[in-house]
């Protein structure tokens, strides 16, 4: 039985994670942690830590997990390139599942996007549109960026060179090599992502819509159970789902 610790347990996502753990017969809730609680004092209570907090809090927890040899599932988004490198280096010492989106449906969509990009991407204008609730502070979302990365890699491009975020003041014709991003924030939208491949005379759209945080929580719990006793390394939900 995998014992799970949840960082940020009193937040909306933390509460949903607790519910998902309680509904899964293969795992136990070892400890729930929130502001003011000490992870160092709870190391004997869990095997895998799930963290959906903020980059600074996640990296602090990661440091403790590395020093104590605990596995970690990271669903936090908004990391800088330097912070991503910290996670990468940490994976040499502990097993980590790191994914901007733990949803099974989203990760299936990533596989579909890879296939679509290889078949029609070179002849398409590609746009990624995402919508989230008004409290989400980073944009584009980590999921949107991951979708862009998957498409760019399938086309042999570097997303850093071909991404465009907004078009104010741009009056040049649409460059086929670019991948556009648009972000919408408002209300209580859990998460919606659409990738559009615009071709002459037709277009293909791949959309995922989330109506409950439970899809992310269930995926994270599944990842935590899968990760227990795995070798050190950096894993994705594609690994967890064997996609």
DSSP 22-34: HH-TTEEEEEEE-
Size of the chain, expressed as the number of residues it contains: 243
The single residue listed with the structure tokens 């899968």 is: 226
Give, in degrees to the nearest 5, the angle at Cα 187 between 11 and 169. Answer: 115
Exactly one of 70, 132, 146, 193 is catalytic; which is it? Answer: 132
132 is catalytic: yes
136 is catalytic: yes
* C-alpha pair distances (Å), 221 with each of 92, 103, 228: 22, 11, 11
Residue 100 CA to residue 147 CA, distance in Å, equals 10
| Catalytic (active-site) positions | 132, 136
């Amino acid at each position: 039985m995998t014992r799970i610790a949840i960082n940020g347990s009193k937040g909306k996502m933390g509460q949903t994670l607790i519910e998902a753990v309680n509904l899964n017969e293969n795992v136990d809730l070892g400890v729930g942690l929130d502001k003011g609680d000490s992870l160092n004092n709870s190391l004997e209570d869990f095997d895998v830590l799930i963290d959906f907090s903020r980059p600074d809090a996640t990296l602090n927890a990661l440091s403790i997990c590395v020093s104590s040899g605990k596995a970690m599932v990271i669903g936090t988004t908004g990391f800088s390139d330097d912070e991503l490198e910290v996670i990468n280096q940490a994976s040499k010492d502990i097993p980590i599942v790191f994914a901007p989106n733990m949803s099974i449906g989203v990760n299936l969509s990533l596989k579909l996007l890879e296939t679509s990009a290889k078949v029609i991407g070179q002849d398409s204008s590609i746009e990624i549109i995402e919508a989230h609730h008004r409290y989400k502070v980073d944009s584009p979302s980590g999921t949107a960026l991951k979708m862009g990365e998957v498409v760019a890699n399938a086309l042999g491009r570097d997303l850093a060179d071909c991404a465009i975020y907004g078009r104010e003041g741009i009056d040049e014709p649409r460059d086929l090599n670019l991948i556009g991003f648009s972000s919408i924030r408002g209300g209580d939208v859990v998460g919606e992502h659409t990738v559009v491949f615009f071709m002459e005379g037709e277009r293909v759209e791949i959309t995922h819509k989330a109506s409950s945080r439970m899809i992310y929580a269930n995926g994270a719990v599944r990842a935590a159970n899968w990760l227990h006793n795995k070798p050190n390394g950096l894993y994705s939900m594609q690994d967890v789902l064997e996609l």
